[in-house]
Amino acid sequence: MWIENSKEIDEKKSKFLKMSEEEFDKYMCKTYPIMFKERNLPKNQTCMCWGLNIGKGWQWILADLCEKLEFISGKSGINVVFKQIKEKFGGARFYYGYETEKGKSKSKNSPSDVKYWGDIIENTISHSEELCDYYCAECGEQKDDIITLGGWCYDTCEKCLEKKREDGIKWWREYKELKELAIDVAYRGNKEEIKQLKKVVKGFSSRTNKEQKKQQKKYDKMYKDAEKKLAKEKVVKKD
């Protein structure tokens, strides 16, 4: 992973954390029109129609990536075109394609050149995706890793998750303690302790799964209520 300049990061972060999602969307489309040329196409042609679906804390990482890709484009004559930008499993995903501009690079984009630059583009984008794993999508502060609880992955740090879900952070801290205990027990190799630990872990997993099912029921109810509301509104409009 590349070593980033912390002062430069702080400046970029503060600039983009101030922007709303709408402001950031407009800024990126205006600054990098080729990369985001599919932004306003219909949904039957691209997934970019859904917008730049990442948290404020990751906006600076995407902006920094586009700056690097623009530089690569100037040298190679290969333009990246984003197809979808979203959060998935607590991390960022930047899906893309690229177009070549014949005559712009010295070798006129021969197949070997396209592969060479394609590898550079892929590595640059992969690095930015990995970087998002270690920054909170809400506040932009550094974090240890992606928080996973009962099958759910979170793109935030512990502090931001606590604001959203106090119960969730409780499970996360318990899980971390269990993980550390598991390493310690495995190191000592005590069979009886390992057996007891497996029981505790099994109990923890069942509790987190119950919590997950509870949340799912809540979301299902909200979805059904919204559908009913829309159906009523349609009837009123017809009348």
> What is the pairing mode between strands 91-100 and 78-88?
antiparallel
What pLDDT was estimated at residue 161?
A: 80
How is residue 183 written in tokens? Answer: 């390493």
- Those residues whose C-beta lies under 8 Å from the C-beta of residue 103, and which sit 6 or more positions away, are 77
Return phi, psi of residue 148, to 5°.
Answer: -120, 125
Strand partners, 85: 52, 94
In 3D space, the residue among 173, 138, 178, 175 whose CA is nearest the CA of residue 154 turns out to be 138
The count of residues in the chain is 239
Rounded CA-CA distance 216/214 in Å is 5
pLDDT < 50: residue spans in the chain = 1-3, 103-107, 187
The domain spans of the chain are: 6-132, 165-238
Rounded CA-CA distance 205/8 in Å is 42
Helix (H, G, I), strand (E, B) or coil at 98: strand
**What tens digit of pLDDT does each residue of 15-31 get?**
888 888 889 999 999 99
What pLDDT was estimated at residue 157?
A: 84
SS3 for 166-181 is HHHHHHHHHHHHHHHH
Contact yes or no for 146/135 (Cβ under 8 A)? no
What pLDDT was estimated at residue 105?
A: 42
What pLDDT was estimated at residue 166?
A: 62
What pLDDT was estimated at residue 234?
A: 60
Strand partners, 86: 53, 93
- Those residues whose C-beta lies under 8 Å from the C-beta of residue 12, and which sit 6 or more positions away, are 60, 63, 64
What pLDDT was estimated at residue 106?
A: 42
Rounded CA-CA distance 181/203 in Å is 15
What is the reported pTM?
0.65
